[in-house]
Amino acid sequence: MRENTRRHFLKQAGFTALGTGPWAASEAAHPEFAPQEAWTLHGEQFRINKAYEGGWVQNFTSTVEALPKDRWRIWTSVSMPETGIKNIGYHEGKVGGEWKPVWAVCTTGKPDPTAELAIGGMPEGAHPVQVVTIRLQNGLTRLYFWAHGEGIVRYLAADSIDETARQFEVVNRLEPCLYHPGDRAVGGAAAKEAGLSRFGKKVAKPIEGEPLAPAALISNDATNVYQLADGSFEMFSVTLLEVNKDNPRYAPQDNLKGFLRVIDRYTSADGLKWGNRKRVITPDSNDPIDQQFYFLSVTHTEKGRLGMLGSYRLDAQAIDIEPCFSTDGITWERPQRKPWIPRDKEDEGIATYLLHAPHNLVQRDGRWWLFYTGGNFSHNHKHSHGTPDRAILVASCQDVWGG
């Protein structure tokens, strides 16, 4: 019976042959994207500040807000490689100018009323990263983020307690939006049902009152959430597809040997309880054998959903931003299949290996703005151009559709 349940889940989620089924690239008409040369590169804006010296800053999956007088608020997160400490916050400033950081004060109890940004109700010992910020249609603000800690690797939501959007409380600490396979609530049976047989012997260790993770909510990492015009929500998250050594896409050079990163879409009425999981982007016969997909960020436009797809080439251990398009969030067109933003040349900038997209593009004063994270080290951390580091950069173009 358990094997039949697993097969049903895998079929519903799209775990079948790569490049087939409703998630494969179609031949439908699509808009043209602006060529790479249409982008103006404004360069590096900032790195980490002294509050987290030795850490790496990123705006990966994170929201960018246009403020008055040509100012911006860039939501960011920081990771400390040596200690595992993470945090989220934002930087405010102007392109080419000074940027002021504000970092969250995180507590397990009520949010700190004296902090510029406070998150209460956090799991004990957990740290947030990869924040998504949504101004909800009810006037409040919601933060989504991955929480990392001892036994904790899960995607949580925190709602603002008023319209000032300074104090937030986690609203789904024990029943998160998504679970990483390493989370304490994930057991071997659910992992196997999700197609991750290598986690089949994992013993779940939930705390009192905490349900076990269902297979349909086991994901991996980079996640983006959007509220749609009808008030419902869609979420795109990278997940792991297990491949055997005899599969041509088995990648011994990757840090996750035997796993292929693909993109799934979920929907929700309230943005907290998620379902309708569908596989929407996988490598197909037109992709190189070392192709994987690391993230999908979406900008909702009048022409449809403009996607920024994380194109991860394992042989180069590099990640680029590739444009794609969809009218429904399910079928995605990838006509360009090449980087949209150029990486820096060695010794000419920091974005030489890894480009990570934000939550979405922002249109302002007749131009489209892309604030992104650049890194100078390979994904497997075996090579770097100088001391490994990350920075926030920005590019802009007049028309993303190439008009």
Q: What is the Cα 211 distance to its own chain's centre?
A: 25
β-pair type (71-79, 354-356): unpaired
186-226: per-residue pLDDT in tens? 999 999 999 999 999 999 999 999 999 999 999 999 999 99
Check residue 31 and give its pLDDT: 79
Does the pLDDT of residue 276 top 60, yes or no? yes
> Does residue 214 sit in helix, strand or coil?
coil
Check residue 18 and give its pLDDT: 41
**Contact, 308 vs 294, CB < 8 A?**
no
**Contact, 293 vs 300, CB < 8 A?**
no
Determine what percent of the chain is predicted with pLDDT higher than 70. Answer: 92
Rounded CA separation 159/172 (Å): 10
51-62: per-residue pLDDT in tens? 888 899 999 999
CB atoms within 10 A of CB 308: 26
CB atoms within 10 A of CB 162: 10
E strand segments, 203-290: 223-227, 233-242, 259-268, 275-281
Task: Supply the DSSP symbol for 12.
Answer: H
Check residue 347 and give its pLDDT: 86
Residue with tokens 């015009």: 229
Rounded CA separation 182/233 (Å): 26
Residue with tokens 């360069």: 43
Rounded CA separation 203/188 (Å): 6
Task: Give the CA count within 13 Å in the CB-facing half-sphere of 153.
Answer: 15
